[in-house]
Structure 1
Amino acid sequence: MEKLDSNYWNDRYINQQTIWDLGEISSPIKTYIDQLKNKDLSILIPGAGNAYEALYLLDKGFSNVTGIDFAVLPLQNLKLKLKDIEKAHYHLINDDFFNHRGTYDLILEQTFFCAINPKLRLDYVNHCHQLLNNNGKIAGLLFNKNFGSEGPPFGGNEIEYRELFKNKFEIKIMEVAYNSITPRQGSELFVIFCSDNPRVIL
């Protein structure tokens, strides 16, 4: 099938088949967030899942955070965790990322790209480009390893990614993450892709 449907992902959470879930925000993304100065950035987290990134952002005072996920269960759990957070500061959307419309300064990538069918990767690039402001960025992690044809997760490498993103984004950073957790050492690329005509340095 072209897309794994919402029932597939919801069942993975129900049955606790979430091997991608670290139980906390990943170190490279945490380090990236820690250097962001503008707390008013509009930030999208596709395939948010348990959204440790959203929890961390909101805890750090960011005021415009959106998480979207096909599966409703993790979003319901996340809403409970956010009960003491001002509702105006976050949005939780249960939908297909490719249906989503909006405008963002930053898209945080953490295990969503590797979860979609590789046939949809060009659609991902184009849709991210549509969602981002002219000064917008994709920042986060892509797997730098091959998982085989059966997935998710689906892997890849730097050569593939450069070819995929080069027509829509300026590739500012693509390098092996120096601070991945031990099981993922050497297998993650930290990336920053900038959309056309950047006006603001994040």
Structure 2
Amino acid sequence: MSFDQSYWEKRYREGTTGWDTGGPSKPLTDYIDQVENKDLKILIPGAGNAYEAEYLFQNGFGNVHVIDLAKQPLQNLKKRIPDFPDEQLIQEDFFLHEGKYDLILEQTFFCAIDPSLRTDYVSKAKELLNPGGRLVGVLWSVPMNENQPPFGGSIEEYEPLFSPEFKIETLAPCFNSIKPRMGREVFINLQKAF
């Protein structure tokens, strides 16, 4: 099955977005609260309703860019934050995107792409990051669906996937997940290796 634009538009239209918690990820807001440089150029791929982008924007981070294949979630963000710059709302395929960023925030995108694309994801994330840039986010640490998103995984799978391209600073179970996800998430903090 192809998880293309029409697939994701249909999921948003039908409200079959069970991954959407209605707010930003606690592990990510805790991380964001520690970031001092508000000028970082940040990318959130497969952003969905982009609650993390909203949180960043409301906390003084003005250089936040969100990408999604579907138009609906980008419109949802714009309704919530009318001041969010239009040029930073990007309806595009992450794998075709060009640009340079200091930080990529990962929240539900990695689990939404076909697992056969995970190596391509790692390469693309590295390509989009400036020297010393970071890929930070939350991944599932449990098996999920076999034939449709979300797709799960494990630390044992993720370590050899990311380690050739990134210095792994954190790849560990989340201690601050929301209750329904406690014990099911892994936090990653990866620095572009070279």
Residues 33-182 of structure 1: matches in 2 within 5 Å?
33-85=32-84, 87=85, 91-182=88-179
How far residue 150 of structure 1 moved from its aligned partner, in angstroms, is 2.3
Gaps of 5+ in 2: none
Q: How far apart are residue 91 of structure 1 and its match?
A: 0.2
**TM-score using structure 1 length:** 0.93
**One-letter code of the match for 2:147?**
E
In structure 1, C-alpha distance between the alignment counterparts of 2:180 and 2:73, rounded to whole Å:
24
Provide the secondary structure at the position in 1 that maps to 2:150: coil
Q: CA deviation at 1:149?
A: 1.4
Match of 1:189 among 153, 173, 186: 186
Aligned to 1:17: 16
Cα distance between partner residues in 1 of 2:157 and 2:5: 28
- Is the partner of 2:111 in helix, strand or coil? helix
Deviations along 1:156-181, whole A, 9 cap, x unmatched? 00011001011100110011111101
1:65 partner letter: V
| Secondary structure class of the residue paired with 2:27 | helix
Consecutive aligned runs of 4 or more in structure 1 exceeding 2 Å deviation: none
- Once residues 57 and 179 of structure 1 are traced to their aligned partners in structure 2, the CA distance between those partners, rounded to angstroms, is 19
The range that moved more, 75-84 or 3-12, is 75-84
Alpha-carbon distance in structure 2 between the residues aligned to 1:18 and 1:38: 32
CA distance in 2, matches of 1:78, 1:27: 19
Equivalents in 2 of 1:78, 1:53: separation in Å?
A: 10
AA in 2 matched with 1:44: L
In the alignment, structure 1 segments of 5+ residues that lack a partner are 198-202
Instruction: Provide the rounded CA distance (Å) in 2 between the counterparts of 1:117 and 1:142.
Output: 14
After superposition, give the CA deviation of every residue in 1:55-113 in whole Å (9 maximum; x if it has no partner): 0000000010000000001111211222134x38x600001110100000000000000
SS state of the match for residue 88, structure 2?
strand
Equivalent residue pairs, number = 194
User: 2: distance between equivalents of 1:148 and 1:113?
Assistant: 13
Q: Deviations over 1:136-194 (max 9, x none)?
A: 00001010000141221101000110010111001100111111011110000011011
The one-letter code of the counterpart of 2:163 is: K
Root-mean-square deviation (CA), in Å?
A: 1.2
Q: Aligned partners of 1:17 and 1:102: how far apart in 2? A: 31
Output the CA distance in 1 between the equivalents of 2:146 and 2:79.
37
